[in-house]
């Protein structure tokens, strides 16, 4: 059980993140122009499990007059994976806010919690961005990938942003956990169904972390802002069968883009790489309309 918990709650992914932080920062500086501003923010996270968190904020200037895009990476990912998205957002005139989620360096924290603590972390980050730069939550868009899409759902349920872009979300936590363990070990997913249920109950009893709070379906039912679900039909890490339940539960205006011949976000075969022009057109039209 301890070994399974280590796989599921470690901030380490199935493969190491390879995006360059230096290249990301250089691209952001180039995109924000001569009047722009970039800062690395640090702040305390949810006090239930204290952590010191890091995020990049960038703007082309006068951030209080602009909409803002918040980008949320997945398990084992990093903020630098959002380089093309952050550059595009800046060139369109948006502010960008790119955190390193708890447990993902340089942010601290012993484990991930699939949105339970991360939601509190992000609410504190938004408070800081509002007080420091005048960022308005009424003009906030959120783009989340994989586990980051789950965090985005919980944040949207709590903070009501203007728009939500969900890449490769999943609605069944236990089934996704069994599938992830299958990918990590090579053993059949059905072998993990019972151990996952036992593990979840044990963590709730011994550590006070009730993973029912992370239920994506419960969060999705409280999300009323416009939302787009994007999922590659060949995604092996989060199979597309996990997405329709989330989509159906969303309470507001929504659309579901099933992308043929594409895999998982922030992988070489992600929709943004395979159908780049179509992806950028849809993404741009969606956030321009909602954050203008």
Residue-wise pLDDT tens digits, 26-49: 999 999 999 999 999 999 999 999
3-state secondary structure of 236: coil
Which residue range(s) make up the domain with 264?
Answer: 2-291
Instruction: State the pLDDT at residue 206.
Output: 84
User: Which regions in the chain score pLDDT beneath 70?
Assistant: none
How much is the pTM? 0.97
What's the domain count of the chain? Answer: 1
Residue-wise pLDDT tens digits, 155-214: 999 999 999 999 999 999 999 999 999 999 999 999 999 999 999 899 888 888 888 889
Instruction: State the pLDDT at residue 251.
Output: 97
- The CATH number of the domain holding residue 68 is 3.40.50.1820
Q: In whole angstroms, what is the distance from residue 89 CA to residue 279 CA? A: 13
Instruction: State the pLDDT at residue 208.
Output: 80
Q: Report whether 174 contacts 239 (CB < 8 A).
A: no
Q: Exposure string (b/e) for 138-165, b if CB count within 10 Å is 16 or more? A: ebbbbbbbbbbbbbbbbbbbbbebbbbb
Residue with tokens 């321009």: 288
Orientation angle between helical segments 21-32 and 83-91, nearest 10 degrees? 10
Which of 268, 267, 261 lies closest to 232 in space, CA to CA?
A: 261
The token pair at 44 is 């305390």
């Amino acid at each position: 059980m301890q070994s399974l918990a280590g796989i599921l709650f470690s901030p380490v992914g199935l493969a190491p993140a390879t995006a360059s932080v230096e290249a990301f920062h250089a691209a952001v500086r180039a995109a924000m122009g001569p009047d722009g501003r970039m800062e690395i923010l640090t702040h305390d996270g949810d006090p239930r499990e204290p952590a010191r968190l890091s995020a990049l904020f960038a703007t082309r200037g006068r951030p209080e007059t602009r909409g803002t895009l918040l980008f949320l990476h997945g398990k084992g990912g990093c903020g630098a994976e959002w380089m093309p998205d952050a550059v595009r957002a800046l060139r369109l005139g948006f502010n960008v806010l790119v955190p390193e989620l708890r447990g993902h360096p340089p942010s601290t924290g012993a484990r991930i919690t699939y949105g339970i603590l991360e939601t509190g972390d992000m609410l504190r980050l938004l408070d800081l961005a509002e007080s420091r730069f005048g960022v308005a939550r009424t003009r906030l868009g959120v783009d989340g990938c994989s586990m980051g899409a789950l965090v985005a759902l919980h944040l949207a349920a709590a903070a009501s942003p203007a728009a939500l872009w969900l890449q490769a979300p999943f609605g069944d936590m236990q089934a996704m956990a069994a599938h992830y363990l299958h990918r990590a070990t090579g053993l059949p997913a059905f072998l993990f169904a019972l151990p996952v249920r036992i593990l979840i109950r044990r963590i709730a009893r011994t550590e006070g972390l009730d993973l029912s709070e992370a239920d994506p379906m419960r969060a999705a039912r409280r999300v009323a802002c416009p939302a787009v679900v994007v999922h590659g039909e060949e995604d092996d890490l989060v199979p597309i069968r996990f997405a329709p339940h989330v989509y159906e539960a969303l309470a507001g205006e929504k659309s579901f883009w099933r992308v043929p011949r594409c895999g998982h976000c922030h992988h070489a075969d992600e929709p943004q790489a395979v159908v780049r022009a179509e992806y950028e057109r849809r993404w741009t039209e969606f956030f321009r309309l909602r954050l203008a």
